[in-house]
Every structure is written in structure tokens, then in C-alpha cells.
Amino acid sequence: MFSLAGKVAIITGAASGIGRASALLFAEAGAKILACDRSPDVAATVAAIEAAGGEAKALEMDAGSEPDVIGAVAMAVETFGRLDVVYANAGITGGLPDFLDTTADTFAEVLRVNLIGPFLAIKHAAPALMKSGGGSIICTASVAGLRYGAGPVAYSASKAGVINLVQHACQSLVGTGIRVNGICPGLTETGMTQPLFDHARAAGKGDRIGQLNPLQRGGQPDEIAAMALFLASPASSYVNGQAIAVDGGLSTSHPVAPSTQLAARAALDKFKDD
């Protein structure tokens, strides 16, 4: 049920992190991949797929540019003959400014890539997916889009928009056989978050990464890619319009200080002893 044999997938942000992990996993499951990114490093993703016996093409493009998105869809169809899956994964943080220090230009650029990008992917891929008899569109949202506390304002607002976009697109594409879903990663070790991970480890605090989620660790790109594969595959044939958190349990509660968690654990231990 997790096979993508005979399918064609476009993945944006495929040069690194979640995008690269997803491209490799989709190819392993049998899909032909159009790996897209504005970084030339996307060629390395394609090289890795080909080295493993898969089939892929690289495209340097801007996920928030309408002409580039139109071109990516056309290239996938022209190169591989069809389109079945689109993973609109590309995103940026816009840095980590405080609310009042965030400029309108920064806010607009984050929305352009993180929210307009997935909108364009859905809008322009949907007709090609219909010609294939339906398919799956996946968008990377974030736990930061669920509530305050997991990212800066522009990033968080853009990801909240992605969650609503997924719901809206799901309803707008009724009867087409196209499913639209989102993934809400928690803190995941990617190029975007690498400075945070590196700083914590350099300070001898690597064990504190992800301490606010019940698994008490950060995530890895392949763990998010596994959810993307599920949503791309027939295994999720009845999943539509959802924004699924992959976050170690962080979004089940508002974050609490470690001392509070320790107190709760002590109370649980006492209960067990009694």
C-alpha cells in the first residue's frame, strides 16, 4: 500500500532536509521524481536517487514564482508523461526577529514562499493530476501554524495559512480524486534549524533539544518524509483535508517548563509506588 510504482512526483525544497529525504524515499518506493529547489544542490539529490537505481530530474526554480511553478508542472508531464503527487515543501523562516522588529518586506517574502508557493502548486498541478485520474498534494505546514510558541510571527502566520489552504483546497477539488493534506513538523534537524542544533551541542546542551515534547528529542527529516510517503501513497486513500502533526507530541499541549514536567513525573512515580 505504500508503493509509488508508476507514479510521478514533484517535490519542492528537495536540495536538503525534509525535501531531500522525501525525494529519496519516494524514489525508493518507485516514483519518478522531479526534484525542485532554488539551490543548485538539488542536483546532488538527483545524483543520490540515480545512484540507488531510481529515476529523477533536477530543476532549479523558485517555489513562490508562478511562472516557475507552471514550468515545473509542465516539465514533469513532458519528461515523465504524467503527474500523480506534488509535495509543496519549500519554505523559509525569514529569520528570528521579534514581532515589532519584523518588517513588512520580510513578512511578505515569507508569505510568498511559504503560503503563495503551496497555493500555486495546488492551482497549477491540479489539472495535471485530474488527467492522471486523481492524486495527492501534500503541503508542509508546521506546529508553529497551530498555536503561538513554535516560530517567529511571519513564519507562524504563513504556516497557519497553509493549514487553512489545505482545508479549502480539499473542498474546492471535490469529485476530482485529488486529496490535499498538510504535515505539521515539530522541531526537526534541517538546514533551516541546524544553527539551533549546532549551538545547543556546542554549549553542551544537546540533550535539551526537543525537551518540551514527550519524546524529549528533535525530529529527523526521514521521520517527516515517512509521513509524506504515507500521504502520497494508497495507504492514505481516505485521508483528505488534514494537517497532521509529526512533532514528538509537542502539539498535544501548550509547552511547559522542564521543572513542571519533572514535578508531574514525580507525582506519577509516587502514584505507582502507592
Query: Can you list the positions of beta strands (E) in the chain?
Result: 8-12, 32-37, 56-60, 85-88, 135-140, 178-185, 243-246
Q: Which of 221, 209, 212, 193 is nearest to 251 (CA)?
A: 212
Catalytically annotated residue among 87, 148, 155, 238: 155
Q: What cell numbers appear for 120 in the block?
A: 500555486
Edge-to-edge strand list for the sheet holding 32-37: 56-60, 32-37, 8-12, 85-88, 135-140, 178-185, 243-246
- Give CA–CA dist 233/28, Å, rounded: 13
Q: Is 238 a catalytic residue?
A: no
Question: What cell was used for 223?
Answer: 521521520
φ and ψ of 136, to 5 deg? -130, 130
Q: Name the helix (H) or strand (E) containing 172.
A: helix 153-172
What is the DSSP code (8-state) at residue 115?
A: I
Count of CB atoms within 10 A of residue 33's CB? 29
Catalytic residue set: 155
